Structure 1
């Protein structure tokens, strides 16, 4: 099933997994591929992998949206839920991710957001804390559980998969509840 088709009723929830780092040599694309594969194993989700490195955003915020900005915001608009895959840089998230988040506004509203973070020892906790504040301002619901990966320590693939499943269960519940809410009454700020 294509993730661009309109969904109704019991159709799978459209989830955009957004790779937040554009740095060369990044770990984010591999982590996002791993997570997207897990998510695609669920019949209740339709996954769209959105890699910010695939977009050519303007250096400065434009007066009017560019075609690349529109391409990104259209993907955000089509999604019913999001998973942000982010590294932790200097106790926060990358500028490339903040820029992309700011290109959309209404497209984020009344949808849930989950997080897969990674870092050195901190597992990206500080980045997620900052992202929760940003996404709250955008009128989203951030799910409680997240996935944190330590790039320097040993990884337990089964533990990571359990964390991902817990987060996906919460994301799916919120996603379906908010889908029903948006269908029955428009969200207003």
Structure 2
């Protein structure tokens, strides 16, 4: 089973990269739940605003970036979105990446490592869940919230406090359970 960790912020100077790198390495070191953990960075994948002429459900992709993204998502069994909070909402790149595809997302669980100020990105992740259900992703209740993310960044690296690590352990285990349970539907 493959867990796909997706960094959703594409903004220059973003904090998503160090948070995402931390979670990616942390999840890889956890035995049992997933056989493989991959990292997808939307800044590197570089999807333009949705530019496919056909509806995603048809899977008649004409652009190489869409074909590449479809292959990555289709090959994943679960997702963790590394999600900032911009004006109480997820970043536009998150919505765009979801909208590019339809069937590739189906019957897979997802969760979030959200980050921000005092709310830890919780408002953003709540808003992000609604779109996931429309493409038949199961957003699980367990997630990781990182309030006051700036306090945990030093020299370009994220230093996760113990409570964040404990939350990550619980979330990874639950994602593994859900991914296994949903596998027959895929």
Please tell me the root mean square deviation across aligned C-alpha atoms, in Å.
1.6
SS in 2 for 1:120: coil
Aligned to 1:22: 10
Aligned to 1:160: 164
Aligned to 1:105: 102
Q: Deviations over 1:28-60 (max 9, x none)?
A: 011011111111012232101000011232345
Alpha-carbon distance between aligned partners in 2 of 1:152 and 1:57, rounded to the nearest angstrom: 27
Q: Deviations over 1:91-149 (max 9, x none)?
A: 10000111011111101110000110011111111111111111111111111111111
Q: How many residues align?
A: 170
TM-score, normalising length: structure 2: 0.86
The 4+ residue runs of structure 1 with deviation greater than 4 A are 152-156
Aligned to 1:82: 79
Which of 44, 49, 53 lines up with 1:54 in the alignment? Answer: 44
Taking a change above 3 Å as real, the CA distance of residues 33 and 112 of structure 1, as seen in their structure-2 partners, is same
Alpha-carbon distance between aligned partners in 1 of 2:150 and 2:52, rounded to the nearest angstrom: 41
Aligned to 1:120: 117
Taking a change above 3 Å as real, the CA distance of residues 152 and 164 of structure 1, as seen in their structure-2 partners, is closer
Q: Deviations over 1:158-180 (max 9, x none)?
A: 1100000111111000011111x
Aligned to 1:178: 182
TM-score, normalising length: structure 1: 0.85
SS in 2 for 1:168: helix
The answer (yes or no) to whether the contact 1:83–1:113 under 8 Å persists in 2 is yes
Alpha-carbon distance between aligned partners in 1 of 2:47 and 2:180, rounded to the nearest angstrom: 31
Alpha-carbon distance between aligned partners in 1 of 2:150 and 2:170, rounded to the nearest angstrom: 22
Alpha-carbon distance between aligned partners in 2 of 1:151 and 1:27, rounded to the nearest angstrom: 11
The answer (yes or no) to whether the contact 1:121–1:153 under 8 Å persists in 2 is no
SS in 2 for 1:58: coil
Taking a change above 3 Å as real, the CA distance of residues 159 and 124 of structure 1, as seen in their structure-2 partners, is same
The answer (yes or no) to whether the contact 1:112–1:171 under 8 Å persists in 2 is yes
